[in-house]
Amino acid sequence: MAASADPRATERIVIENCSIATVDAHDTEYASGHVVVAGNRIESVGAGSAPDGLAGVVRRVDGTGHLVTPGLVNTHHHFYQWITRGLATDHNLFDWLVALYPTWARIDEPMARAAAQGSLAMMARGGVTTAMDHHYVYPRGSGDLSGAIIGAARDMGIRFTLARGSMDRSEKDGGLPPDFAVETLDGALAATEATIDAHHDASSDAMTRIAVAPCSPFSVSTELLRQGAELARRRGVRLHTHGSETVEEEQFCKELFGMGPTDYFESTGWLGDDVWMAHCVHMNDSDIAAFARTGTGVAHCPSSNARLAAGIARVPDMLAAGVPVGLGVDGTASNESGELHTELRNALLINRLGARREKALNARQALRLGTYGGAQVLGRAGEIGSLEAGKLADLVLWKLDTLAHASIADPVTALVFGAAAPVTLSLVNGRPVVEDNHLITVDEDAIARATRDEARRLATIAAGA
């Protein structure tokens, strides 16, 4: 589909005197270079100063002391959990879910809006330019939760995929969620299709996309997986779910379906180059080969996997096999920081755990996971994820000349191995979202107050349930 005409196409922003990591196919880097943005697209990237005589320059940025990278792409999250952080802190996945389902089942539209604003603000301030939310809790009578979440991303100016989740396998059907927390099969499918109708934008510079996203093998029926896959393919949208997160999930699948999670997904139509799955921790060689053969993507969530003691995903093996891999914050009830830039570092460190794994993952691979890899698993590698002429202008200027980073030899190493770097400027679709480490599109303090108030309201309601 053709890109929509951008009335700002003749307005240029010029960024110069900065280090640049393009994350293109050759990992091209410039020790001192320039980026020219025209409207919502990158016009040129290269060494030295920007070309002379550019017309329509509305802003010129001196990037001295900075590294410019593509904006970070988050590939797995649950925004609503922003208002249930810090609970069940010493639990494994299944115990943690059972502890939290009753509270989550009480969320309503104002809570979903505030939690989305909090989640998005935290990520955007840390260099995320494309976010996603896997939302799967839709209590009856709770209002337009999807609309509230999408509105929060639109107001902040963040590129966004809502993975419209669902659950229809409750305790009475052998599932994990309580009966009151699930939708019906038909209700979930109809609501998912209505969300595609209302919000999905297939154009190349889309700010909002929708994916079909039943929650997990232990919370959805086989029929919801099958019909969900058919719906997604009929409508040309992507498919997302959780897969192979814990040993308990593997055991659940073997007991109920007589096979492991990857074989079960394959039997329900859930492997393919239009599918990406969160976690994929417990994958054997044949599972990884199946993902590589089908082009199925992975959202690697190292902090959440550590928080819930789920295990270590075999990311180096996946990359060697050719599996597309991006990074995910995961919900902030299992990763209280809610930041993606720290996941670059955690991905690198966690994948080096164990004997003789010093070459398991390097800094440039970690940066690629958080940018181009994320774009790949969201099906947008032709549009975002690297700094190349013609791509959408989603980029970040990381400040690396202060105490935390100034003495680290190389800028990409500083960004990945060092402390979380401040963001001097981020552009999404060519528009500034962060300036001098603060969001300029929304009021951070107002969001902080709203999230605190909604977290208290939810806790009060849940306590009275």
Please give the residue ranges that form the binding site for Zn ion (CB under 5 A).
278, 330
Measured from the CB atom, the residue of 20 and 278 that comes closer to Zn ion is: 278
CB 357 within 8 A of CB 348: no
Least distance from Zn ion to the Cβ atom of residue 298, Å: 13
Residue 82 tokens, joined = 């922003």
Measured from the CB atom, the residue of 66 and 76 that comes closer to Zn ion is: 76
Q: Which residues pair with 132 in a beta bridge?
A: 161
Least distance from Zn ion to the Cβ atom of residue 328, Å: 7
Least distance from Zn ion to the Cβ atom of residue 90, Å: 19
Q: Which residues pair with 224 in a beta bridge?
A: none
d(CA 9, CA 357) in angstroms, rounded, equals 47
Least distance from Zn ion to the Cβ atom of residue 32, Å: 40
Measured from the CB atom, the residue of 274 and 330 that comes closer to Zn ion is: 330
Measured from the CB atom, the residue of 278 and 283 that comes closer to Zn ion is: 278
Least distance from Zn ion to the Cβ atom of residue 334, Å: 7
- The distance from CA 211 to its chain's CA centroid, rounded to whole angstroms, is 13
- H or E, element range at 321: helix 315-321
Candidates 321, 242, 308; CA nearest to 275 is: 242
Measured from the CB atom, the residue of 22 and 74 that comes closer to Zn ion is: 74
Measured from the CB atom, the residue of 330 and 339 that comes closer to Zn ion is: 330
Residue 440 tokens, joined = 């300029």
CB 283 within 8 A of CB 244: yes
Phi, psi of 107 (to 5 degrees): -70, 150
Measured from the CB atom, the residue of 278 and 425 that comes closer to Zn ion is: 278
Least distance from Zn ion to the Cβ atom of residue 66, Å: 33
Phi, psi of 353 (to 5 degrees): -65, 140
- H or E, element range at 19: strand 12-21
Phi, psi of 296 (to 5 degrees): -70, 135
Least distance from Zn ion to the Cβ atom of residue 128, Å: 16
Largest CA distance in the chain: 70
Q: Is 279 left (phi over 0), alpha (psi -120 to 50) or beta?
A: left
Least distance from Zn ion to the Cβ atom of residue 132, Å: 11
Measured from the CB atom, the residue of 63 and 243 that comes closer to Zn ion is: 243
CB atoms within 10 A of CB 53: 6
